[in-house]
Amino acid sequence: MANRGELIEWNDERGFGFIRPDGGNERLFVHISQIGRIATRPQLGDRVSYVIGRGRDGGPAAVSVSIWGANPVKGRALARGTEASPSPAASGYQSRTYFGLILLVLLGIGWLTGSIPMALAAVYLVMSAASAWLYYRDKQSAAAGEWRTSEDMLHGIDLAFGIIGGLVAQQIFRHKTAKRGFAAITYVIAAVHGLWLAGLVSGRISLAELANLIPG
């Protein structure tokens, strides 16, 4: 028989939290991997049903957890009793796609016109692949409760020419999209690279002139 309770703590970054059973004061651990797939993220105050099982440390934990009133992934109708509206994170998915496409188009135009050398285009592609892989691994680690890649590392590789892959990976894997601070920095990095690539394509920025500014 399923138990009932309320989600009283939730760490969205690490993907776990605690449930307070109805009629009790104890806290029961719950991991994101045990929550049925839904269109929205778990939230404090969510009413849940669950079965008591064993966690990774052998202690009691909530398993087979269902959040009442939450849309399943394929659902489109109602969420928590009202018509569902896109969350800030969900609405950001589309903008990530646009940013990534714009950067990729600028990179392609620059390469075709000769304003961006093949070596620089190759660096963008290689670093983007590395960035996408890091996001994928971090998503897997979050689900498994394992050691995570730092946000500074993810931002760093995006800044170091991996931003196209970072934007694509955030959308595909639905990772790091709920944190507004992380998203804001991602957009700043994307804007910097957009201006840089646009400057190269338009001729306002010259790689040769930049090289002359470097000492030695």
Residue 175: pLDDT band (50, 70, 90) is confident
Is the pLDDT score of 89 beyond 70? Answer: no
Tokens of 41: 């993220």
Q: pLDDT value at position 124?
A: 97
Own/partner pairs, 94-102, CB within 8 angstroms, 24+ separation: 95/187, 96/167, 96/168, 96/170, 96/171, 96/177, 96/186, 97/167, 97/171, 99/167, 99/187, 99/190, 99/194, 100/164, 100/167, 100/168, 100/171, 100/190, 102/194
Burial 46-56 (b: 16+ CB within 10 A, else e): bbbbbeeeebe
Is the pLDDT score of 207 beyond 90? Answer: no
Residue 82: pLDDT band (50, 70, 90) is very low
What CATH number has the domain spanning 3-83? 2.40.50.140
Decide: helix, strand or coil at residue 51: strand
Annotated domain spans of the chain: 3-83, 88-213
* Portion of the chain with pLDDT greater than 90, in percent: 45
Q: What is the pLDDT of residues 145-154, one digit of tens each?
A: 677 789 999 9
More confident residue, 25 or 1: 25
Single-letter residue type at 130: A
More confident residue, 214 or 109: 109
